[in-house]
Amino acid sequence: MPPERAEAEATFRLLPSVEEVLSQVAPSTLAPGPARDRLLDFVRETIDRWRSDIRSGHLLAGDLRKRLSSGDLVREVQDLIAVDSRRGLKRAINATGVVLHTGLGRAPVHPEVAQAMAEAASSYCILEVDRETGERNERDAHLGTLLTRLTGAEAGIAVNNNAAAVFLTLQTWGAGKETIVSRGELVEIGGSFRMPDVMARAGTTLREVGTTNRTRLEDYRQAITPRTGLLLKVHTSNYRLQGFVHEVSADELSALGSERGLPTSYDLGSGLIELPGATPLTMLGDEPRVRDAVSSGIDVVTFSGDKLLGGPQAGLIVGKRSSISALRKNPIYRAMRLDKVTLAGLEKTVELYLAGRADELPSRQMLLASAESLRPVAERIAAQIRTLDGFTAAVMSDKSQPGSGSAPGIFLDTFVVQVKHSRRSAFALAHALRLGDPPVFARIQEALLLLDMRTILPGEVHDLTEGIARIDA
């Protein structure tokens, strides 16, 4: 055995056994089972890491002895346990100022919506049965009716998300045929949802027309052949073409579809609803509205439930009665149908719109909040932070974003609290806040930590300041 090998062998023997380490990180009463197995995995993983450091010569006997006696190994196991215990879906405070933040779950729902969802989850509910006759019926029949009232369409259905809505549409009319779409609208939505890839998987052949910046109705018309299955329009929801541009309007596309007897579809994504009784979201500029898309005569319009609508995650499809019933008959629809909890939440969300209470929806309130209304909250939080040792805080005006690819290039005036710490960088502060309970997500801009007041919910101010106070505790 070469001398280095022999030395490594001797060093390995200094490492404690798995059982020894386990007894130091867990009470000896820990019964066999998943909890004990999980700890054993962390202990083995840590010992293995130390072993490989010994093997590679990065950890020599002297160092190893020192680190063992100072409790480093046990501490590393405890760190793994701590990281593991922080995993998973938990409530978080959004101080990023991005209202529809996909990473943080997009729209927080109205308390009455949350309550309807909790009730549906924890009890039986009238999901697929008619109360009058006791017969089975469609689970989203009532939602369909509510959607017609909301959007002015003849009919509506819902699936798990808008990506599914688009897929179902393409598969229903485009499979085995061609789908014509403008080259300027071949969007990629975050999370690898690329229009051309989705089309391929839906079994439809992409027929691109026009150029990146300009597409005319003539381009669509000339591409129509007996193989054409669908004329598609996609809202470029997360980018904006500027300059020498032209796109085909929904009205034009719908007229061409009727003229040639071809189905038409418009993927809106963001799904802006404006109704009497709801303060218009004028800050979003020329963001297309669901009602306008429907009244253009397009056969089906698809949009998300958790973007500008402000409800739970879903894909909503509204349009002509015959088109919606064709979608419903597609067996793939069954694989995309909503669960009772989401359905309960969506019905309640739409009911709030129809009752003239849309302004109560948290995401609409956040979009509508004026900078001046956010300033006092910022002042209050800054004042509390200034009382903490090592911290300084300043209130500044800044810009928030609608998020979720809704209204790109649109910024909303806001007030932020800029937080500094005498010994910690903005990055270290942001990290500590993310690991807190509840976790806080802040914005870092030019190496400054900013807390944007726009996306802080009314009841969260206390938790936020407590979270900051605990950083150095």
Ligand X SMILES: *Cc1c(COP(=O)(O)O)cnc(C)c1O
Residues of this chain that interact with ligand X (CB under 6 A) are 161-163, 166, 187, 189, 193, 234-235, 237, 267, 269-270, 304, 315, 405
Q: How far is the CB of 271 from ligand X (least distance, A)?
A: 9
Q: How far is the CB of 169 from ligand X (least distance, A)?
A: 11
Q: How far is the CB of 44 from ligand X (least distance, A)?
A: 39
**For the purposes of burial, counting CB atoms within 10 Å of the CB of 448, is it exposed (0-12), middle (13-18) or buried (19 or more)?**
middle
Our CB check for ligand X shows the closer of 11 and 161 to be 161
Query: Closest Cα partner for 360 from 409, 311, 400, 406?
Result: 311
Strand partners, 193: 189
Q: How far is the CB of 237 from ligand X (least distance, A)?
A: 3
Q: With contact defined as beta carbons under 8 Å apart, do 367 and 413 qualify? A: no
Our CB check for ligand X shows the closer of 346 and 377 to be 346
DSSP state for residue 453 in the 8-state scheme: G
Our CB check for ligand X shows the closer of 2 and 191 to be 191
Task: State the residue number with the nearest CB to ligand X.
Answer: 269
Query: Closest Cα partner for 237 from 186, 294, 275, 191?
Result: 186
Task: Enumerate residues 6+ apart whose C-beta is below 8 A from 373.
Answer: none
Q: How far is the CB of 233 from ligand X (least distance, A)?
A: 10
Q: How far is the CB of 303 from ligand X (least distance, A)?
A: 8
d(CA 99, CA 304): 15
Token pair in block for residue 322:
């015959």
Our CB check for ligand X shows the closer of 120 and 166 to be 166
Q: With contact defined as beta carbons under 8 Å apart, do 309 and 349 qualify? A: yes
- For residue 418, give the 3-state DSSP assignment: strand
Q: How far is the CB of 161 from ligand X (least distance, A)?
A: 3
Token pair in block for residue 371:
């900078």
d(CA 345, CA 355): 15
Q: With contact defined as beta carbons under 8 Å apart, do 352 and 361 qualify? A: yes
Our CB check for ligand X shows the closer of 187 and 253 to be 187
Our CB check for ligand X shows the closer of 163 and 471 to be 163
Q: How far is the CB of 189 from ligand X (least distance, A)?
A: 4
Our CB check for ligand X shows the closer of 317 and 464 to be 317
Distance (Å) of CA 420 to CA 39, 447, 450, 467 = 37, 10, 9, 15
Distance (Å) of CA 206 to CA 62, 231, 340 = 66, 11, 35
Our CB check for ligand X shows the closer of 59 and 189 to be 189
Helix (H), strand (E) counts: the chain: 19, 15
